[in-house]
Amino acid sequence: MSQQSSNRPDGDLRNTGMSLKHDREWDYELDRIVEAVDERNAGTVGLQFPEGLKRRGPGVADDLRELLPDDVDVMISGQPCYGACDLDTFLMKRTDVFVHFGHSPMKESDKIIYVPLFSNVDVFPIVEQAIDEQLTTPEEDPDVGLVTTAQHMNKFEEMREYLEGLGYTVHTRRGDDRLTHEGQVLGCNYASAEVDADQILYVGGGKFHPLGLAMEHPEKHVVIADPVNNVVTVADNEQFMKQRYASVHKAMDADTWGVIFCTKIGQGRWEQAQEIVENNEDAYLITMDEITPDRLRNFGLDAYVNTGCPRITTDDGPQFHSPMLTPGEYKIAIGEKPLDSLEFDTFHGTW
């Protein structure tokens, strides 16, 4: 049964419950996967999708089965996945070809096929609107930084050329080893925005990436051009900062601490977790793969420090029954750093 002939959703994300202003189709690069299976004489294929595309998995598996020999098994990872740092290593070890959808490579491997799922949404109408409404004119300030996410990297050079054609001097850089492309940002890494420009144009969906960027670089004017939802906004981290200050203040009364080390392959900061525990006799190192409020509730500690993915702290922080801090916020809570040193937690390097 093919994806097209079944009732499963195809590339239109409106069928997934996600309300978008534009249709969005994905290229799953099935031919590349079939070629890898043939080259490796593979008998098993593992597929991993990010959370927002998991319901796409059975349909993609159906289409892939139609193209593969009958004796090749296709399996789908059900593990949570929020980035290229979040690989299902159990499934990866048990398949001949492992395909990770939705993210660009964080670390190259012959074992893994990365399919970034580039978006086909036309970015230029919203970029033009962002220029008109929020960027200064080239005559006033020609310098502008340009960043985007993996899904729109296929349009990055065209966006750069478009801005340069209007008279802007476009500043870009790759960042560090955690980033695959020049101008790419992640939810945990904004090193590509460290450019010599006071204004940054972020092209992509959602507000989390530009919000983190604005916190990492508070001196910059961060303009959000969202081509999926067709909106232009400016990153404002005031409300977010209030939430983080509140968590830090609450944690100042903590007597016992849980220091979380995430066992996911690309999210661990072991040395940082160990250092905190070694210097606090009331701190306990806790290893976890998936960090959730329910799991932490069982420990009954006063506060927690997350040395894993920063997004757990920033996205889900209000859901935890006890304060959940970043390593930097922890130092503020115990008095090692001043309150005004609060900053966004970022992740650098690979495993």
Task: Summarize pLDDT for 210-219 with one digit per residue, the tens.
Answer: 888 888 888 8
pLDDT on residue 350: 58
Residue 25 pLDDT class (50, 70, 90 cuts): low
Entry pTM: 0.80
With a CB cutoff of 8 Å and minimum separation 6, the contacts of 252 are 333, 334
Determine the structural domain holding residue 143 and report its residue range.
124-234
| 78: pLDDT strictly greater than 70 | yes
| 351: pLDDT strictly greater than 60 | no
Higher pLDDT, 342 or 108: 342
- 267 and 294 in a single domain? The answer is yes
Residue 30 pLDDT class (50, 70, 90 cuts): very high
- 19 and 92 in a single domain? The answer is yes
Q: Share the mean pLDDT of the chain.
A: 87
Residue 74 in domain: yes
**Domain final position from 207, 234, 261:** 234
- 34 and 66 in a single domain? The answer is yes
Residue 1 in domain: no
| 253: pLDDT strictly greater than 60 | yes
CATH number, domain of 272, equals: 3.40.50.11860
Q: Residue-wise over 190-216: b if at least 16 C-beta within 10 A, else e?
A: bbbbebebebbbbbbbebebbbbbbbb
**Domain final position from 67, 85, 115:** 115
- 61 and 141 in a single domain? The answer is no
| 173: pLDDT strictly greater than 80 | yes
Q: How many independent structural domains does the chain possess?
A: 3
Residue 167 pLDDT class (50, 70, 90 cuts): very high
Q: Which of 49-53, 184-188, 335-339 has the lowest mean pLDDT?
A: 184-188
**Domain final position from 176, 203, 234:** 234
CA distance 250 to 241: 14
Residue 87 in domain: yes
- 80 and 160 in a single domain? The answer is no
pLDDT on residue 201: 97
**Closest C-alpha to 12, from 21, 25, 3, 2:** 25
Mean pLDDT across the stretch 179-192? 83
Q: Residue-wise over 44-67: b if at least 16 C-beta within 10 A, else e?
A: ebbbbbbeebbebbbbbbbbbbee
CA distance 67 to 86: 28
**Closest C-alpha to 143, from 163, 127, 123:** 163
Residue 230 in domain: yes
- 146 and 214 in a single domain? The answer is yes
